[in-house]
């Protein structure tokens, strides 16, 4: 019995150690970029040995893969939560509008996903390819919304890749060009949270027009 308890405790400790290493590595990748981060830096920041990191992950690339997998799992859970909270009877245009705006709001507050994606683009093709290859479920969810919209609003069809590109632009610009964001509303003495809200409202105006959202919503 004691051996089983010790085994479970050891497995839990190993899992906690892996999660701790991944959190530290993700923070470093966001701050410095993948290319400038070494396993030694990760080990020093995480307070674990270099050999322990290699034992759990093997290489820096494998750490990035694990972080990417975690992002996908988290985002799929979040997207499903957003979808579940939108009534099924909601008109297709409103459904897509709400989904888009909530996803942007999340991206403006939780910056790490877009920071890691942008860094992957600047690095090896293999990193970006890995991220794209593991995004099938998210793609399916988004495309299903667009399909419903185009069926119910055939006179005003949308291209979901254009909407996604707009979301990427607005999410990434807020994360990577924060000084410009602050400068835009400097005359209003707006703090960062207020600037992000105003940034969100700019996108909101575009989406209201794009999806033809009436005042009642």
Nearest CA to 139 among 111, 161, 121? 161
**Blockwise average pLDDT, block size 10, the chain, 217 residues:** 52 85 94 91 91 89 90 86 89 91 94 88 66 62 84 88 90 94 92 96 95 87
Q: In this structure, are residues 185 and 174 in contact, taking their beta carbons and an 8 Å threshold?
A: no
Q: In this structure, are residues 56 and 179 in contact, taking their beta carbons and an 8 Å threshold?
A: no
pLDDT of residue 211: 92
Q: Phi-psi region for residue 86, left (φ > 0), alpha (ψ -120 to 50) or beta?
A: beta
Q: In this structure, are residues 151 and 92 in contact, taking their beta carbons and an 8 Å threshold?
A: yes
- Distance, CA of 195 to CA of 98 (rounded, Å): 21
- Distance, CA of 94 to CA of 208 (rounded, Å): 9
- Distance, CA of 12 to CA of 34 (rounded, Å): 28
pLDDT of residue 125: 62
Nearest CA to 22 among 30, 151, 84? 30
pLDDT of residue 169: 94
User: Cα-atom radius of gyration of the chain, to the nearest Å?
Assistant: 21
Helical segments of 85-191, H only: 92-109, 112-122, 125-133, 136-152, 160-176, 178-184
- Distance, CA of 63 to CA of 56 (rounded, Å): 9
Q: In whole angstroms, what separates CA 90 from the centre of its chain?
A: 25
pTM to 2 decimal places:
0.82
pLDDT of residue 133: 58
Looking at residue 187, the DSSP 8-state letter turns out to be G
Residue range 1-58, CATH number:
1.10.10.60
- What burial letters (b/e) apply to 105-114, b meaning 16+ CB within 10 Å? bebbebbbbb
């Amino acid at each position: 019995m004691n051996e089983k308890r010790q085994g479970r405790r050891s497995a839990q400790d190993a899992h906690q150690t892996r999660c701790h290493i991944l959190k530290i590595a993700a923070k470093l990748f966001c701050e410095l970029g993948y290319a400038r981060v070494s396993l030694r830096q990760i080990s020093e920041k995480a307070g674990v040995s270099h050999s322990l990191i290699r034992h759990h992950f093997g290489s820096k690339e494998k750490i990035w893969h694990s972080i990417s997998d975690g992002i996908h799992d988290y985002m799929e859970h979040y997207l499903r939560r957003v979808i579940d909270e939108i009534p099924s009877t909601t008109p297709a245009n409103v459904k897509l509008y709400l989904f888009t705006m909530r996803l942007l709001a999340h991206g403006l507050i939780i910056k790490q996903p877009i920071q890691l994606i942008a860094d992957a683009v600047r690095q090896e093709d293999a990193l970006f390819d890995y991220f794209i290859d593991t995004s099938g479920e998210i793609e399916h969810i988004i495309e299903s919304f667009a399909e419903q919209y185009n069926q119910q609003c055939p006179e005003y069809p949308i291209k979901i890749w254009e909407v996604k590109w707009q979301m990427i632009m607005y999410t990434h610009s807020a994360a990577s060009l924060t000084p410009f964001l602050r400068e835009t509303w400097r005359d209003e003495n707006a703090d960062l949270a207020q600037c992000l809200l105003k940034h969100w409202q700019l996108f909101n105006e575009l989406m209201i027009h794009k999806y033809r959202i009436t005042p009642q919503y």
